[in-house]
């Protein structure tokens, strides 16, 4: 337990988003479910807020709190793969880097995020979008069971046979229902992928976005790919004079047979003349860690998100107006396709309701200097305002900011009332409220 009197407190209270400057009374580095239950019991008894921290990547900083207690799961990172059943069980504080390293040894994987330092916890509970989503569904679609510390301090299993309503809610409902101490996933064969980023000149951004829209609609589901507005980092495969210049990029990940990789990404490479690319066969965990250096801890974060059914010409125009103004190398805009296997799960089969959305857009503002907060937040807000009229009402909860609580209901659409009733059952006093909150 780390309190304000202890060395290391300042580091322990911090989360990935450096804009979050909160002071909990204690950060408890849990070792097991018993510890987590003790923290929840204590906080409830003392009427203190309790924050549950997995990977700490929540942009609104839900992994810490002011004056309360943090159940920090970051020391609980074990992953055990059952190759015979093609499943893996991972502790609640594991990151995708931990998870992929363990599963890769067996030639297996499941959908996770695109950055290896993000926690499996928050990402899976909110839905889980990544390279493998078109083929394998969202992370939460691959969640088959969870050990959960409830608000009462009781430890329960949520699976098909035990508390199935709780499992349903954990698949997209966020951290609202309890602290998950272990997640069990279904795995699929993925070892080496063929992919990587391709950079194009901004003058071709319109062609690239329109071409991507056509191509991805019919592409085999093993093709994960997303367009991005991105300032070129100083990387050897990008000509030096282009370093620091905004580009439109397409990041590719072909998870089918390796020999089919070049043909699978050829259409994307041919969208416009290529400025630089780093595409080829690589271990899936390598792609998952490829962009980690762009998002180190200590940046300021402000994000907005949209679900998009059709990437209309009007929407593309809005992107063309704001994307090229991406202010710093860390900031980015990604347009993730969430069709394919994500659409084969019905809108009320899990808490994640937007099964008709074809894309999830994130406008991810991330910058080093707090003095630039105003300008960077304004870029995100203006961009969002221009795209919102061409988007669905909801946006993925894991990509949303702290001022998006008013959109939580819209995110869950027809599932919201069922989520509320499950919340009333498992957490009637809203003990777990440091999240995109579903109020009991």
In the complex, the residues that contact ligand FAD under the rule CB under 6 A are: 15-16, 52-59, 62-63, 73, 92, 113-115, 118-119, 121-123, 125-126, 128-130, 175, 179-180, 295, 398, 434-435
Identify which of residues 73 and 329 has a Cβ nearer to ligand FAD in the complex: 73
Identify which of residues 95 and 188 has a Cβ nearer to ligand FAD in the complex: 95
Identify which of residues 300 and 435 has a Cβ nearer to ligand FAD in the complex: 435
> From residue 107, how far is each of 63, 100, 204, 284, 288 by CA, in Å?
32, 10, 37, 9, 15
Alpha carbon of residue 7 to chain centroid: 31
CA 21 to CA 49: how far, in whole Å?
A: 16
Identify which of residues 118 and 252 has a Cβ nearer to ligand FAD in the complex: 118
| Least distance to ligand FAD, CB of residue 397, Å | 8
| Least distance to ligand FAD, CB of residue 311, Å | 19
| Least distance to ligand FAD, CB of residue 127, Å | 6
| Least distance to ligand FAD, CB of residue 304, Å | 13
End-to-end CA distance of the chain, in Å?
A: 30
Q: Are 251 and 332 in contact (CB under 8 A)?
A: no
Identify which of residues 149 and 275 has a Cβ nearer to ligand FAD in the complex: 149
Contacting residues for 322 by C-beta, under 8 A, at least 6 apart? 333, 379, 382, 383, 386, 387
| Least distance to ligand FAD, CB of residue 429, Å | 16
- Token pair belonging to 92: 């609640």
Do the bridges between strand 69-72 and strand 26-29 make them parallel or antiparallel, or are there none, so unpaired? Answer: parallel
DSSP annotation of 349: T
| Least distance to ligand FAD, CB of residue 323, Å | 18
Identify which of residues 86 and 437 has a Cβ nearer to ligand FAD in the complex: 437
- Token pair belonging to 141: 């679609």
CA 73 to CA 425: how far, in whole Å?
A: 25
| Least distance to ligand FAD, CB of residue 183, Å | 7
210-235 residues labelled b (16+ CB within 10 A) or e (exposed): ebbbebbeebebbbbbbbbbbbbeee
Q: Are 414 and 386 in contact (CB under 8 A)?
A: no
| Least distance to ligand FAD, CB of residue 6, Å | 21
CA 350 to CA 342: how far, in whole Å?
A: 11
| Least distance to ligand FAD, CB of residue 115, Å | 4
CA 255 to CA 134: how far, in whole Å?
A: 10
Identify which of residues 228 and 272 has a Cβ nearer to ligand FAD in the complex: 228
CA 116 to CA 130: how far, in whole Å?
A: 11
Identify which of residues 54 and 272 has a Cβ nearer to ligand FAD in the complex: 54
- Token pair belonging to 338: 């969430």
* 3-state class (DSSP) for residue 254: strand
CA 435 to CA 263: how far, in whole Å?
A: 42
> From residue 267, how far is each of 198, 215, 283 by CA, in Å?
12, 7, 22
Identify which of residues 49 and 221 has a Cβ nearer to ligand FAD in the complex: 49
Identify which of residues 53 and 355 has a Cβ nearer to ligand FAD in the complex: 53
| Least distance to ligand FAD, CB of residue 250, Å | 16
Contacting residues for 374 by C-beta, under 8 A, at least 6 apart? none
């Amino acid at each position: 337990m780390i309190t304000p009197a202890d060395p290391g407190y300042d580091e322990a209270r911090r989360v990935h988003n450096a804009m979050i400057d909160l002071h909990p009374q204690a950060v408890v580095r849990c070792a097991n479910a018993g510890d987590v239950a003790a923290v929840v019991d204590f906080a409830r008894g003392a009427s203190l807020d309790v924050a549950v921290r997995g990977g700490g990547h929540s942009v609104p900083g839900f992994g810490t709190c002011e004056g309360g207690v943090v159940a920090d799961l970051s020391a609980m990172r074990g992953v055990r793969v059952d190759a015979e059943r093609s499943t893996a069980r991972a502790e609640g504080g594991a990151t995708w880097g931990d998870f992929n390293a363990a599963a890769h040894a067996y030639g297996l994987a499941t959908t996770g995020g695109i950055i290896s330092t993000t926690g499996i916890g928050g990402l899976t509970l909110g839905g889980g979008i990544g390279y493998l989503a078109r083929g394998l569904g969202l992370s939460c679609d691959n969640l088959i069971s969870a050990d959960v510390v409830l608000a009462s301090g009781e430890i329960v299993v949520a699976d098909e046979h035990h508390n199935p309503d709780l499992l349903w809610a954990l698949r997209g409902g966020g951290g609202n229902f309890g602290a998950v101490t272990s997640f069990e996933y279904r795995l699929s064969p993925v070892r080496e992928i063929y992919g990587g980023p391709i950079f194009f000149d901004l003058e071709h951004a319109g062609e690239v976005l329109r071409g991507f829209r056509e191509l991805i609609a019919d592409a085999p589901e093993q093709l994960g790919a997303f367009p991005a507005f991105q300032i070129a980092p100083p990387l050897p495969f990008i000509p030096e004079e282009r370093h620091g210049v905004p580009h439109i990029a397409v990041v590719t990940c072909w998870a089918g047979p390796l020999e089919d990789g070049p043909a699978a990404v050829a259409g994307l490479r041919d969208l416009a003349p290529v400025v630089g690319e780093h595409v080829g066969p690589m271990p899936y965990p390598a792609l998952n860690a490829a962009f980690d250096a762009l998002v180190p801890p200590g940046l300021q974060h402000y994000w907005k998100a949209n679900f998009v059914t059709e990437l209309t010409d009007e929407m593309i125009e809005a992107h063309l107006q704001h994307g090229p103004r991406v202010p710093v190398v860390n900031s980015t805009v990604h347009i993730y396709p969430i069709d394919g296997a994500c659409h084969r799960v019905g809108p009320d089969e899990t808490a994640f309701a937007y099964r008709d959305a074809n894309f999830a857009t994130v406008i991810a503002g991330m910058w080093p200097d707090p003095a630039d907060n105003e300008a960077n937040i304004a870029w995100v807000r203006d961009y969002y305002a221009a795209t919102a009229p061409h988007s669905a009402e909801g946006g993925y909860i894991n990509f949303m900011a702290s001022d998006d609580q008013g959109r939580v209901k819209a995110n869950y659409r027809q599932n919201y009332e069922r989520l509320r009733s499950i919340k009333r059952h498992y957490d009637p006093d809203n003990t777990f409220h440091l999240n995109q909150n579903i109020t009991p």
